[in-house]
Amino acid sequence: MSLTTPEERLAVLETQYQQAVQRIAVLESRIPNSSIISPKFLSRAFTVWGHMIVAQLIVTIPIYCIIFGLGLLMGSSNGY
């Protein structure tokens, strides 16, 4: 397909532009509303810090429960 006139080129470019605008709108609607993508540095930093604390709790609480349970078992077998 050969675009010979400037009007044809302009019509194709306008169509492509409208399609791009629609795709951008769809992609922007899929972005979560989260502080992790905030433009403010402190907001992002505290969000990451909060996620890190939650991840540490998820990992350490079961470990501490196992250690506590083993300590109870070892203590009860020793007669304490």
Task: Kindly give, in sequence order, each residue whose CB lies less than 8 Å from that of residue 9, ignoring residues fewer than 6 positions away.
Answer: 3
3 — pLDDT class (breaks 50, 70, 90): low
In a shared domain, residues 39 and 72: yes
Give tens-digit pLDDT for 12-39. 999 999 999 999 999 988 988 888 888 8
pLDDT at position 4 is: 77
Following CA atoms 2, 3, 5, 11 in sequence, which dihedral angle do they give, to the nearest 10 degrees? 150
Instruction: Print the domain residue range for 43.
Output: 35-80
In a shared domain, residues 27 and 12: yes
Q: Taking a C-beta distance cutoff of 8 angstroms, is the pair 12, 3 a contact?
A: yes
In a shared domain, residues 75 and 39: yes
